[in-house]
Protein backbone atom coordinates (compact mmCIF):
# COMPACT_ATOMS: atom_id res chain seq x y z
CA UNK A 1 0.00 0.00 0.00
CA UNK A 2 1.50 3.34 -0.95
CA UNK A 3 1.78 5.89 1.81
CA UNK A 4 -0.65 8.09 -0.11
CA UNK A 5 -3.21 5.28 0.01
CA UNK A 6 -2.52 4.72 3.67
CA UNK A 7 -3.00 8.41 4.43
CA UNK A 8 -6.21 8.49 2.43
CA UNK A 9 -7.61 5.48 4.24
CA UNK A 10 -6.49 6.84 7.60
CA UNK A 11 -8.38 10.04 6.85
CA UNK A 12 -11.48 8.07 5.95
CA UNK A 13 -11.18 6.00 9.09
CA UNK A 14 -10.87 9.10 11.22
CA UNK A 15 -14.03 10.48 9.69
CA UNK A 16 -15.74 7.13 10.17
CA UNK A 17 -14.81 6.99 13.84
CA UNK A 18 -16.33 10.44 14.19
CA UNK A 19 -19.58 8.98 12.90
CA UNK A 20 -19.40 9.84 9.18
CA UNK A 21 -21.45 7.04 7.60
CA UNK A 22 -20.54 7.96 4.01
CA UNK A 23 -16.81 8.00 4.71
CA UNK A 24 -17.07 4.68 6.48
CA UNK A 25 -19.00 3.08 3.66
CA UNK A 26 -16.45 4.39 1.16
CA UNK A 27 -13.62 3.07 3.31
CA UNK A 28 -15.10 -0.42 3.54
CA UNK A 29 -15.85 -0.43 -0.18
CA UNK A 30 -12.22 0.37 -0.95
CA UNK A 31 -10.76 -2.05 1.57
CA UNK A 32 -12.96 -4.99 0.55
CA UNK A 33 -11.46 -5.66 -2.90
CA UNK A 34 -7.94 -5.44 -1.49
CA UNK A 35 -8.75 -7.96 1.22
CA UNK A 36 -10.58 -10.12 -1.29
CA UNK A 37 -7.36 -10.34 -3.28
CA UNK A 38 -5.45 -11.26 -0.14
CA UNK A 39 -7.91 -14.03 0.73
CA UNK A 40 -8.03 -15.37 -2.82
CA UNK A 41 -4.25 -15.55 -2.95
CA UNK A 42 -4.27 -18.00 -0.04
CA UNK A 43 -7.40 -19.91 -0.97
CA UNK A 44 -5.99 -22.85 -2.93
CA UNK A 45 -9.06 -24.97 -3.48
CA UNK A 46 -11.30 -23.13 -1.07
CA UNK A 47 -12.38 -20.59 -3.69
CA UNK A 48 -16.04 -20.95 -2.85
CA UNK A 49 -15.37 -19.85 0.70
CA UNK A 50 -13.39 -16.73 -0.16
CA UNK A 51 -16.31 -14.34 -0.10
CA UNK A 52 -17.45 -15.74 3.25
CA UNK A 53 -13.99 -15.28 4.69
CA UNK A 54 -13.87 -11.75 3.34
CA UNK A 55 -17.22 -10.95 4.95
CA UNK A 56 -16.08 -12.35 8.27
CA UNK A 57 -12.97 -10.19 8.06
CA UNK A 58 -14.95 -7.05 7.26
CA UNK A 59 -17.26 -7.77 10.17
CA UNK A 60 -14.27 -8.16 12.48
CA UNK A 61 -12.71 -4.90 11.27
CA UNK A 62 -16.04 -3.25 11.90
CA UNK A 63 -16.53 -4.59 15.39
CA UNK A 64 -12.97 -3.78 16.47
CA UNK A 65 -12.44 -0.47 14.71
CA UNK A 66 -12.32 1.34 18.05
CA UNK A 67 -8.95 -0.31 18.70
CA UNK A 68 -7.22 1.92 16.16
CA UNK A 69 -5.50 4.91 17.69
CA UNK A 70 -5.85 7.83 15.31
CA UNK A 71 -2.31 9.01 15.92
CA UNK A 72 -0.89 5.69 14.77
CA UNK A 73 -0.42 4.33 11.23
CA UNK A 74 -3.38 2.52 9.78
CA UNK A 75 -1.62 -0.15 7.77
CA UNK A 76 -0.18 -2.23 10.65
CA UNK A 77 -3.52 -2.14 12.43
CA UNK A 78 -5.55 -3.10 9.39
CA UNK A 79 -3.13 -5.83 8.38
CA UNK A 80 -2.97 -7.22 11.89
CA UNK A 81 -6.75 -7.56 12.18
CA UNK A 82 -7.09 -8.94 8.67
CA UNK A 83 -4.34 -11.47 9.26
CA UNK A 84 -5.76 -12.64 12.58
CA UNK A 85 -9.23 -13.13 11.13
CA UNK A 86 -8.19 -14.60 7.78
CA UNK A 87 -5.82 -17.12 9.36
CA UNK A 88 -8.53 -18.02 11.87
CA UNK A 89 -11.18 -18.36 9.16
CA UNK A 90 -9.02 -20.66 7.10
CA UNK A 91 -8.06 -22.66 10.17
CA UNK A 92 -11.71 -23.30 11.02
CA UNK A 93 -12.09 -24.62 7.52
CA UNK A 94 -9.21 -26.99 7.97
CA UNK A 95 -6.49 -25.06 6.19
CA UNK A 96 -3.34 -23.48 7.63
CA UNK A 97 -2.28 -20.28 5.94
CA UNK A 98 0.36 -17.71 6.73
CA UNK A 99 0.08 -14.03 5.93
CA UNK A 100 2.84 -11.57 5.67
CA UNK A 101 2.76 -7.78 5.59
CA UNK A 102 4.26 -7.97 2.09
CA UNK A 103 1.14 -9.79 0.89
CA UNK A 104 -0.65 -6.65 1.87
CA UNK A 105 1.65 -4.36 -0.07
CA UNK A 106 -0.41 -3.94 -3.19
CA UNK A 107 -3.76 -2.27 -3.26
CA UNK A 108 -4.78 -3.61 -6.66
CA UNK A 109 -8.31 -5.00 -6.42
CA UNK A 110 -9.20 -8.57 -7.38
CA UNK A 111 -9.44 -9.03 -11.16
CA UNK A 112 -13.01 -10.22 -11.64
CA UNK A 113 -15.73 -8.83 -9.45
CA UNK A 114 -18.34 -11.51 -9.87
CA UNK A 115 -17.67 -12.63 -6.32
CA UNK A 116 -19.11 -9.39 -5.04
CA UNK A 117 -22.51 -10.63 -6.12
CA UNK A 118 -22.15 -14.00 -4.44
CA UNK A 119 -24.72 -14.40 -1.69
CA UNK A 120 -22.49 -15.96 0.88
CA UNK A 121 -23.02 -17.80 4.10
CA UNK A 122 -24.14 -14.78 6.07
CA UNK A 123 -27.74 -15.66 5.18
CA UNK A 124 -27.43 -18.89 7.09
CA UNK A 125 -26.04 -17.11 10.10
CA UNK A 126 -28.72 -14.40 9.90
CA UNK A 127 -31.32 -17.10 10.34
CA UNK A 128 -29.89 -17.84 13.80
CA UNK A 129 -30.52 -14.30 15.00
CA UNK A 130 -33.71 -13.30 16.76
CA UNK A 131 -36.45 -12.06 14.45
CA UNK A 132 -36.11 -8.39 15.21
CA UNK A 133 -32.33 -8.17 14.78
CA UNK A 134 -32.52 -10.23 11.60
CA UNK A 135 -35.28 -7.99 10.28
CA UNK A 136 -33.22 -4.89 10.99
CA UNK A 137 -30.11 -6.27 9.31
CA UNK A 138 -32.09 -7.40 6.27
CA UNK A 139 -33.97 -4.13 5.95
CA UNK A 140 -30.79 -2.08 6.06
CA UNK A 141 -28.54 -4.44 4.15
CA UNK A 142 -30.77 -6.02 1.55
CA UNK A 143 -33.41 -3.36 1.07
CA UNK A 144 -31.24 -0.31 1.66
CA UNK A 145 -33.61 1.18 4.22
CA UNK A 146 -32.28 3.92 6.47
CA UNK A 147 -32.19 3.62 10.24
CA UNK A 148 -35.06 6.10 10.46
CA UNK A 149 -37.19 4.11 8.00
CA UNK A 150 -36.54 0.88 9.88
CA UNK A 151 -37.48 2.59 13.11
CA UNK A 152 -40.75 3.77 11.63
CA UNK A 153 -41.52 0.35 10.23
CA UNK A 154 -40.85 -1.50 13.48
CA UNK A 155 -42.15 1.24 15.78
CA UNK A 156 -38.75 1.73 17.38
CA UNK A 157 -36.79 4.88 18.04
CA UNK A 158 -33.70 5.46 15.91
CA UNK A 159 -31.53 4.98 18.95
CA UNK A 160 -33.14 1.64 19.71
CA UNK A 161 -32.63 0.52 16.11
CA UNK A 162 -28.94 1.43 16.30
CA UNK A 163 -28.47 -0.48 19.53
CA UNK A 164 -30.29 -3.51 18.16
CA UNK A 165 -28.27 -3.34 14.95
CA UNK A 166 -24.99 -3.21 16.84
CA UNK A 167 -25.96 -6.13 19.06
CA UNK A 168 -27.15 -8.04 16.04
CA UNK A 169 -23.81 -7.60 14.30
CA UNK A 170 -21.92 -8.77 17.37
CA UNK A 171 -24.17 -11.80 17.56
CA UNK A 172 -23.58 -12.46 13.87
CA UNK A 173 -19.83 -12.59 14.45
CA UNK A 174 -20.26 -14.90 17.44
CA UNK A 175 -22.61 -17.28 15.67
CA UNK A 176 -20.33 -17.35 12.66
CA UNK A 177 -17.40 -18.42 14.81
CA UNK A 178 -19.52 -21.07 16.50
CA UNK A 179 -20.60 -22.59 13.23
CA UNK A 180 -17.13 -23.93 12.77
CA UNK A 181 -16.45 -25.25 16.23
Spatial distance between the Cα atoms of 100 and 171, rounded to a whole number of angstroms: 30
Judged by CB under 8 A, the chain residues 116 through 175 that form the site for other proteins are 116-120, 122-123, 126, 137, 140-142, 144, 146-147, 162, 165-166, 169, 173
Query: Are 120 and 109 a contacting pair, CB within 8 Å?
Result: no
Under the binding rule (CB under 8 A), the answer on residue 49 touching other proteins is no
Which positions ≥6 away from 140 have C-beta within 8 Å? 146, 147, 150, 165
Q: Is 16 in the site for other proteins (CB under 8 A)?
A: yes
Q: Is 89 in the site for other proteins (CB under 8 A)?
A: no
Cα separation, 144 vs 150, in Å, equals: 10
Q: Which residues of 80-99 are buried (b: 16+ CB within 10 A; e: fewer)?
A: ebbbebbbbbbebeeeebeb
Least spacing, CB of residue 135 vs other proteins, in Å? 12
Of these, 59, 86, 97, 99, which contacts other proteins (CB under 8 A)?
Answer: 59
Residues that bind other proteins (CB under 8 A): 16-17, 19-22, 24-25, 28-29, 32, 51, 54-55, 58-60, 62-69, 72-73, 75-81, 83-84, 88, 115-120, 122-123, 126, 137, 140-142, 144, 146-147, 162, 165-166, 169, 173, 177
Amino acid sequence: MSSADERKWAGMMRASLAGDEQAYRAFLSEVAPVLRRLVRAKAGGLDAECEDILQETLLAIHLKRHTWREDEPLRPWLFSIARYKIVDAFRSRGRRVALDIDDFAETLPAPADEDATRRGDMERVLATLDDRSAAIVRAIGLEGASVAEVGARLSMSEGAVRVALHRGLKKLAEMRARMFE
